Chain A
Amino acid sequence: MEEQRRKSGRWGYIWPMWMTLLLHLLAIILFTTGFLLTRTELPYYSHCTDLSNSPCFPPSPNNNGSCWTKPSINRLVIIVLDALRFDFVAPSTFFAESKPWMDKLHVLNNMSSSRPSSARIFKAIADPPTTSLQRLKGLTTGGLPTFVDVGNSFGAPAIVEDNFINQLFQNGKKVVMMGDDTWTQLFPHHFERSYPYPSFNVKDLDTVDNGCIDHLFPSLYEDDWDVLIAHFLGVDHAGHIFGVDSTPMIEKLEQYNNHLERVIEVLENQSGPGGLHENTLLVVMGDHGQTLNGDHGGGSAEEVETAIFAMSFQEPLSSVPPDFDSCTCQTDLDGKNVCISSMQQLDFAVTMSALLGIPFPYGSIGRINPELYALGAGSWKFDASQKLPEVDIWMKNYANALCINTWQVKRYIDAYSASSAVGFSHDDLSRIASVYAQAEDHWLHSTKKLLLDRHNDSDVLVPELKRQIDAYFKFLTTVAELARSKWTEFDLKMMGTGIGIMLISLIFQLYAILRPTKQHDVNLSSSSGNSSIITSSIFTIFLLAIHSFSLLSNSYILEEGKVVNFLLSTSGIVALRQSVIKEKLLIESIGFLLLSTLCRFAIEVGLSKQAATSAFMKDYSSWIANIASDLLVWDYASKVIPMLVLILLAFWLYKATRCGFFDWPRKYVILGTILSYMLIIVHWITDSDGFGVALTAESIGRNYIPRIVYAIALGQLFLLSFGQLFKRNCLDCKTNLVAKTTAMLSAWSPTVILLSGKQGPMIAFASIVGGYCIMRLDNIEESNKNRPGRSFSIMQWSLFATCLFFCSGHWCAFDGLRYGAAFIGFEEFSLVRQAILLAIDTFGFSIILPVFGLPFLVVTKYQNNLGKHLLFTQLSQMYTTYGLITAVISTFTILCVTIHRRHLMVWGLFAPKFVFDVFQLILTDILICLASIYYFDQGDDDLELKSSDC
C-alpha cells in the first residue's frame, strides 16, 4: 500500500479532493435544478378573437384598434425611476419622521393634491425578488417571476412569455423606449425606436439619465408612438454608491422633480381637444424600492414598497365609488390634502392593458385596479341614451372589464394546471373553481340580464354590480394568494438525489480522512494520545453539530455571525483551559479570546448594517469610518490607521522573509507584495480628499494603481506556478512548504486587502494574529507529536474564517455583496471581470486565505523533518477535514432549504443563504484542489528522507 502510494506520487494525495469536488458539483447541480426549478412559462398568447369564448361583453364594434375592453386612453407615457422608494414620493407627513430625502419630488404631491380626481399617488407593493430585471418582467407579464431568474439577471434573456409589451406590439401599438438597456434585452424586437444606455456601471449617475432626457422631450412632441417608456437609473446608482441619505441622491431627486415638472407642462399644453396628448396617461413609477444602504433584491418592506403616480389630462369622473377606494389621506406640508392609495405591482400589466384596450397578457394573474382604471374614465363619450349617472356607467364598464379579467385568469390557471406536471393541488383547484363558478353564475343569471336591459335605473343596478364586482375580487384575490404561496415548483426527486449524493460525498470524505490514519496506526502506533484525540474530536463534532443545526432556523441564519463567534469564543475558552492545565501559551490563548471578542464587535457593526439602521449606511466599503464618523479625529484616524497597519504588515512580511530560505521566485513574489502594499497606500491617499492632496490626475491614479496591483498579483501567481514546474527543491520539504505557503498568501493578500477597502489591513492583521494563535495552541500537547487528529484546530480555523466573513461586513444575502468593490480600478462593467473581483472581495478573507494558509497548521507541528510522506499525508488529511467541515455545513443549509421550501422567507433568506453556501462549498473545493496541486510536490526525495528519519 505504502509503495503504491509513493509510486502514484502526488496524485495519491490529491485524488480524494478531486473526487470530492466532482461529487459536490454533481450533488449541487442536481439539487439546484430541483430547487430553483420554477414556474413553467406557458407558450400561449392572448388574442383579440379569444374574447368570444368568454361570457363577457365584447367592446362595441365601432371602437377600432381595440378588442378586449373599451379603450379609455390612446397614449401612455411611462417614466420608470429605478429604485424609487415610496417615501421619495409620498409627502413626509405620511411618516413618523421627516427625513432629508423626503418631499423632493413635490411636483407629484402638488398634482395629486390640486387635482385629486385626475392625478393620484399609489403605494405599489412589488413581489420579491426586487431586482430590476425581475421587476420589469413582473410588471410586463403580470405574473410572479421566480428566483431562478436572479441568476439570469446579469445576462437578461428575452422574455418568451406573453406580456404587455408583446400585446402592444401585436396590436399595432408603437412603443418607444429610452434609458436602461435591460428593456432592449428583454424585448429585443418590440420597440419602434429605442435609445438604450448601459445599466451596470453603478458609478455613473448621469449617462443614462441624460440620455433619457435628450430623447424624452423631443419625443413628447411627436406623434409616431402610442406608448413611451423612459427608464431612469440615477437614483438606483446613487443608492448603490452613496446610500439614500446622501447629497447625490437628493440632487438626483431634485433633478427629477424639474424634469417631471417639464414633462407635465408639455403634456398639459397639448391636452386640449384634438391635441397630441388629449388622451394621454402619464405614469411615473418605481420598479422596486431600496434600503437605506441602497441595496435591493430581498423582500423587506423598504425594498418592496415603491410608488406609482398616475395622471390623466382629461377631467375624469368626480370620484371612484367609495367601495373601491382604498386611499388614505393626509395633509402635506403645504396644508393640502393628499390621498394615497395602495396597489399591487402585479396589477399593473392588466390595468394598463385594460386602459389601452388591448388583450391582457396570457399569464397575468393581476386584477384591474379600480382607482387606476378610473383615471382613464374621462375619455369615454357617454352616450346620451343612457340616463344613468357617470359613476354607474363607470361601474358597468368596470364590471365588464373585471369579467374579462376573471375569465382570462381562470383560463390561465386551467391551462397551467393542464400543461404543468406539478401545478396547483387538487383542493386548491376545486376551491378556485367554486369561487369562479359563483362569480360566473351571478354574472350569467343576474348581472348580464340587468346590463342588457337598458331601462334599469341605478337603484336596481348598482347593488347588483357591487355584488358582482365583489365576487370577482374574491376570485382574483384567491388566485393571487394561491399563486404567491405556491408558485415555485420543487422537483423533490432531483432535490432528494442531490441530498443523497451530498451525503455520499460526506461519507467519502470521512473515509478519506480515516484511511491514512489507519495506515499510520501501524507505523506510529500513537496510542498514547488516543483519549485526547477522541475528546478533541468529540468537541469538534459538538461545535460542528451546533453550527450545522443552527442553520435549520431562520433566526440563527440571520444572526449567523454571532452564532459562529459564540462558538469561536467557546473554543477559545476551552483552549484557555487547556493552556492553564499545561501552564504555557497563556498569552496566545488569552490573545485569541480577545481577538474573538473584537471580532464580535466587528460582527455586530456588520449586523447593524444589515438591519439598515441609519447610523451605518454611509460608506459601503468601510465600517471603520462609520464608527463615530461625526468626530473629526476619528475621521482622520480611520484614514490613517489602515495605512499604518498596512505598513506594519509590509514590514512584518519583510522581516519574516529575510532569512535565507526564500530563493529566487519567491523573493520576487514577496518584493512584489511589499510593492503592492505601498501602491495601495498611495491609492488610498490619492483617493481620499482628507489629506489635501489635490491631484489633478486623480482619475488616472484611481484606476491605474489598482490595476497595477492586480497585474502584480497575477504575475506573482504565474511566477509561483511557473517556479513550481521547473524548480527542484534543494530544501527539506518542511521549510519548503513554509516558504510556499508564505509566498502564496502574500501573493493573494494585496488584492484581497485592496478590494476590502480600508478595513482590509485590520482584518488581515486580525487573521494573521488569529492564525498564529490557532497554530500555536494546536501545538499545546507536545506529548504526542505525531497525533494525526487535529480536528479541533481545523474547526477553529474554519470558525475563524467564517467569523472573518462577517467581520469584513458581509452577510449571506445579495444586498450583502459590496458591489462597489467590483469597480475598484475599473469604471465600466464587464461581467466576468467584475464577478471575479466581487468574489475575491466576498470570499477573500473567509475562503481564499484560510485555504491557502492551512499548511501552516501542519508545518508548525514538527520540530524536525519527518519526511515528505508523513507531512503530505497529514496535509491531505487536513485539507480533507477542512473540506468536510465546509461540506457538512453546506449539507445542512441544503437540508434547511428543503425543509423550509414553503417558508415565508424562502426567497428572502434561505435561498440567498443557499446560494452563498453552495458557492462557498464549490469555491472551497476548487481552491483545495488547486492548493493541493501547488503544495504537493512529486515525491522524489521521499525515500532518502524516510530512511534517514526512521
Chain B
Amino acid sequence: SSPQDQYELYAVEMEKQDDGAMDVKIKKKKTTKAAKKKEKLENMKKEMDVDDHQLSVEDLELKYQTSVSKGLNSTWAGEILLRDGPNELKPPKGTPEYVKFARQLAGGLQCLMWVAAAICLIAFGIQCGQGDLTSADNLYLAIALIAVVVVTGCFGYYQEFKSTNIIASFKNLVPQQATVIRDGDKFQINANQLVVGDLVEIKGGDRVPADIRIITSQGCKVDNSSLTGESEPQTRAPECTHESPLETRNIAFFSTMCLEGTATGIIVNTGDRTIIGRIASLASGVENEKTPIAIEIEHFVDIIAGLAIFFGGTFFVVAMVIGYPFLKAMVFFMAIVVAYVPIRLWAVFQVCLSLTAKRLARKNCVVKNLEAVETLGSTSVICSDKTGTLTQNRMTVSHLWFDNQIHTADTTEDQSGQSFDQSSETWRALCKIVSLCNRAFFKSGQDNVPVPKRIVIGDASETALLKFSEITLGNVMEYRERYKKACEIPFNSTNKFQVTIHELEDPRDPRYLLVMKGAPERILERCATIMIKGQELPLDEQWKEAFQTAYMDLGGLGERVLGFCHLYLDPVQFPRGFSFDSEEMNFPTSGLCFAGLISMIDPPRATVPDAVMKCRTAGIRVIMVTGDHPITAKAIAASVGIISEGSETVEDIASRMRIPVEQVNKWEARACVVNGGQLKDMESEDLVEILKMHPEMVFARTSPQQKLIIVESCQKLGAIVAVTGDGVNDSPALKKADIGVAMGIAGSDAAKNAADMILLDDNFASIVTGVEQGRLIFDNLKKSIAYTLTKNIPELTPYLIYITVSVPLPLGCITILFIELCTDIFPSVSLAYEKAESDIMHLKPRNPRRDRLGDVALAVYSYFQIGAIQSFAGFTDYFTAMAQEGWFPLLCVGLRAQWENDHLQDVQDSYGQEWTFGQRLYQEYTCYTVFFISIEMCQILDVLIRKTRRLSVFQQGFFRNKILVIAIVFQLCLGCFLCYCPGMPNIFNFMPIRFQWWLVPLPFGILIFVYDEIRKLGVRRHPGSWWDKELYY
C-alpha cells in the first residue's frame, strides 16, 4: 500500500526541545494493535529519512535527472507528473456524506421535533390500544413532523453541499502560481503542475510550492511556524547545516511562507510526499469560526425558541387545567413549539449567502468565507492601500511642460481621454528626446496588444515614457532604429541623468544628436538655451523662474518630474564615426537646449472616485494607508475624493492664512496627512484623537506595524474595519481587520491567505459592490425574519380565544404546521432574491451593537401590528364561515364544551338545526381551512410589504423579484391543492371551502398594505421623528 495511506492515522508533533534538537513525536490517533503501530512507526521514520539535503548539487542533478541551470525537460516533467500525480495535498477525508446528512437531522430543534413526533406516535398508540380508531390525527401529525424534519434536513444538506462547492470552486479561481524553469525558460505555472526535479524560483510573499532543496539564495527567509512553531523567520541557504532534514537550512518546506529575499531550488518532494503532506493532522481543515451573523442568527433563534417554549408551556398548563388528557395537551405543546421555532431561517441565510457569493464572483470578488460578506456590509471604515488598489499601478505620463505651458496628457486606462495640442516644434523635439533617450523596450510579438497592456522590459518611468511616445508617435522601436545609438550613459543616482547620442536619420546630415533626461534641476543646470515654439532662446532668469514655477506646480501634484534637453553636436568636432566614450564623457554635457518637463504619476483607476463617493454617501470612511510619499499620497487622495474638494489640512490652512501651524484650530481642518515618522512618536490615544478630529485621513510612509496600529485605533472607535493589502507585510493588518481584502493580481499568497475576500481585478470599486451586497444580505435576512415572525400571532390568537372565550377551535395544530413548514417557506426564501432598496447605499452602516438582526422594533411591528391585523382577518373569516353555516358569533362564545362533546349528536345551532359530532368536526375543519386561507392571503400581502423597509413598494417594483412572484403563485396553488384535493379532510384536516371565504381576508390584506405604505411614507418623510423611531425596523 502507498505510504500516504498509512500516515493518515497519525498526527506528528514536532517540538523544539531545550537542547535545540528537533524531536519528532508520533502520536497515534486511533487505537489499533500495538504491533501494527510499531510497524507503521518504522515506516514513518524511514520516510522521514530524506538525504537530499546532504547530497551535492551534482548528485542531485543526477538523482532527479535535472539541471540547476536549465531545469527539467518539459516532456520528461510531463511524464513525472503522470507518474506522481499533481502536486497537491489530497483533501483530508472529510466527514462522510451520510454523517453530514445525519447531522442535519439531529440538530437541537430537529431533536425536539423527533421527540414531538414520538409523543404523537405514543399518543396514537395509546389511542389504538383503547380501541378508538375514529381519528388518526396523531399519526398524521407524527408523519407530518417527521416529514418536516426530513425535508428540511434534505434542504439543509443540499445547501451545505452547494456552499461547500462554491467555496471549493473559488479556491480554483485563485490558484497558487509558481515560477519554474524548464528547458532553460522561465514559466509561470500552477503550482499543482510541479514535479520532482523542477527548478523553481521563490521570492518574498510566495508560498513555497513543494519541498525544495535550495540551490541559490539571496537573503531568503521562510516562516516555518506552521511546521515547527518557531515564529522567527528562518534563513534558507544552499549549505547543508544539519543532518536532520527538518533542521537543515537548505530545505524549504511545502506550504511555508517565504517572507523575504529570493531563492531557487530543486523540488525533492511533491504533494502528499512532502513533509507537510505526511502530517495528516495539519491537512485536515481548520474548524470554522462562528461569524457575527451566525451568532446573531443563533441568538435570535434561541430567543424565539424560548418564547415558543414559554407560550407552549402556558398552553400546556391551561389545557391541563381545562381538562385535556395529558397526551393531547402534550401534543398541543409540541405543535406550538415546533411551529414557532423558525428553523428555516438557516435555509434563508444559506440561500442569501450563496446567492451573494455568486453575484460577487461575477463582479470579481472572491469570498473565502461566505459570512464575511455580511461583515463587509456593516463596514464603517475602509483602510485602503494606494498602489494598485486606488491607482492603476503603472506610471503614466500625466503632464508636460513645454512652450511655457502645462499640457495635460491622457491618463485613462483605455486612452479615452483628451489629448493636447501636438503641433508645436518644441513638442516634436521633446518627443524625439523621449523616444530616443529611453532604454525600455517592448517584449516582442505584441503588435496586436493595445499599447497600455503591452509588456515592457524597463523601469516604471521609462515604461511610462515608452508607452507615451508609442501612443503619440507611433512605432518607437522602428524610430529608434532609424536614429542609430552611438553612445549611452545609463541613469545613476549620482548623475541623476541619462544621456544617449544618436546618428541622425538623414544620412546627408553628419551631425550627432545628444539627448538627455534626468532630474529637472540637474538638467536645467546643464542648459544654456530653452526651446520655445521651435526657437532656441537664451535661458535667462525669466525662463528659469517660469521653469521653477512649472516644476513646483507639477511636483505639488505629487508627480514624478523629469527634465529633457538635447544638443546637436558640432559635425566638425564630432564627425561621423567619432568614438564616444561613456566613461570619459568626451562630449559636451552642458550648454544644452532645454526642451521641456514631463511628469508622471500612477493615476487613479477610473472607477475609484465614483466608488469613494459611494462609500462616502454610504457613511463609510475611506482612509488611505500607503508607503508612498506624503505629497503623492495627498495628491492621489485628493484626485479620488478621499480628501474631498475644499477640505484643507492644518498645513493648508496655515499657509492660506499665513499663520504658523500651531495657531490653526485643528478642528477646522477636515483632512489630515500623517506620515510614518509622525505616527512613530504618537501614543495610541493621540492617534484615536486624530482619527476623531479629521474625517479625511491619509497615512503616508507607513510601515506594516503602523498599519496594524491604525486598524486597531479605528476598531477602538467602534468601527468595523475593512483593510486592503497585497504584500506579505500586510497580512497582520489583514488578519486584524474585521474583514481583510487581498488583491488577486498584485497580492502575494500570504496576503491572500490572511484575507477574507480577494479582489480578482484589484479594483477598489469591487469593495463597494461587496459592501452593497453585504448590506443587502442583512436587509433581506431582516425582511425574511419579519415575514416569518408575523404569522406567529395569527397562529397564536386562535388558541388564546379558544381558551379564554371558549369558541370552537379556529385553527388546528396540523394546519399551523402546514403554514409554518410548507406554504410559507418558499416566500420567505424568495425574499433573499430581493434587489437592494435604491437607498441602501445612502444609509449609514449599521451599528453592530445596536442594530441587530432580530431587534425589538422588528418583532413588535410584526407581532403587534401586522400580526394583529392578520389575526383579525382570520377571525373575521372564521366567524363568517361559522355564521353562514348556521352558527352566529354570539352563539359560538362559550360553545366549546358542547361542541367538543362527542356524545352529543344533536347540538342545536342558531336556526335550531341539530348537528352530529361528525358534522361539527367537519365544520371545525372548515374553520381551520378558512383561517389558514386568511393567514395565507394576508401573508401574500405581507411578503409584498416586506420587499422594502423604507421605500414604497411601488418604487421597488412589484414584479422585479421574479422568484417572489413565483413563490406567491406557488403559495396560492398549494393553498388550492390543500383545500380541494380529495382526501384532505380526513388526512390533514383541510376542507374544500367556498370561494367567497378566500375573499373575506382581502380587505385586511389591503389594510396591511396601505398601513405599511403609510408607515414607510412617514419613515421617509420624517426621519428621526417619533414615528420613525417606533415604527422603523
- The answer to whether A and B interact is no
Residues on B facing A (Cβ under 8 Å): none
Residues on A facing B (Cβ under 8 Å): none
